[in-house]
Amino acid sequence: MPGRVDPFRSYNFAVEVEGLVAGGFSEVSGLEIDIEVQQYREGGVNGFIHQRAGPAKYPSNLIFKRGVTDSKVLWNWYWDVVQGTINRKNVSVLLMDESGEERLRWNFEQAYPVKWAGPGLHAGSNEVAIETLELAHKGLISSPAPPSGSGFEIDVDVTAVLTVDVSL
């Protein structure tokens, strides 16, 4: 009987921008895809309405929250957009297992910052100052893939040669 497989913990993740880890984030949201359902009435058929799958849509931007630091990399990217220079970048959200190995990855293409929110500042609080960065994107370009060595690997060896003789 196979061993027990526990779900991954939501706190163990990383964010990459153009392949480089973009610092520590306390929260990521907006990992959503919806399939638009298109209804079609068929003439003379009154018992039901056909429901067909339409295009995929992304109902939310990616939203990242993190503690404010003196790193200006993400702020500079946002400020460039404010100044009219839109530099689109590929962004990945990685989910890690308990040992810190990447287990799932969501890749978003051509993302750029569209909103920044600074921390709420309260003199009577000792909480970490949190900033929020929101990214618009073209969409999810690759679905989460099973990790290497998980038992889901497919190894195909294509060495056969097919010969077809067509004579007229």
**How would residue 142 be classed by pLDDT, with cut points 50, 70 and 90?**
low
**How would residue 148 be classed by pLDDT, with cut points 50, 70 and 90?**
low
Please state, rounded to an integer, the average pLDDT across all residues of the chain.
82
Q: What percent of the chain has pLDDT over 70?
A: 83
* Total structural domains within the chain: 1
Q: Residue 41 and residue 44: Cα distance in Å, rounded?
A: 9
| 123 found inside a domain | yes
**How would residue 77 be classed by pLDDT, with cut points 50, 70 and 90?**
very high
Q: Residue 83 and residue 152: Cα distance in Å, rounded?
A: 46
| 8 found inside a domain | no
CATH number assigned to the domain comprising residue 106: 2.30.110
Q: Which domain holds residue 63?
A: 13-142
Residue 144 confidence (pLDDT): 53
| 166 found inside a domain | no
Plot region of 39 (φ>0 → left; ψ -120 to 50 → alpha; else → beta): beta
Cα end-to-end distance, the chain, whole Å:
59
Q: Residue 25 and residue 76: Cα distance in Å, rounded?
A: 17
| 47 found inside a domain | yes
Written as one string, the DSSP assignment of 1-25 is: -PPP-PPPPTT-EEEEETTEE----
Answering whether pTM is above 0.75, one says no
**Per-residue model confidence as pLDDT tens digits over 39-70:** 998 888 888 899 999 998 888 899 999 999 88
**Per-residue model confidence as pLDDT tens digits over 87-139:** 999 999 998 888 888 888 999 999 999 999 999 999 999 999 999 999 999 98
Q: Residue 90 and residue 107: Cα distance in Å, rounded?
A: 7
SS3 72: coil
Structure tokens at 29: 């949201």
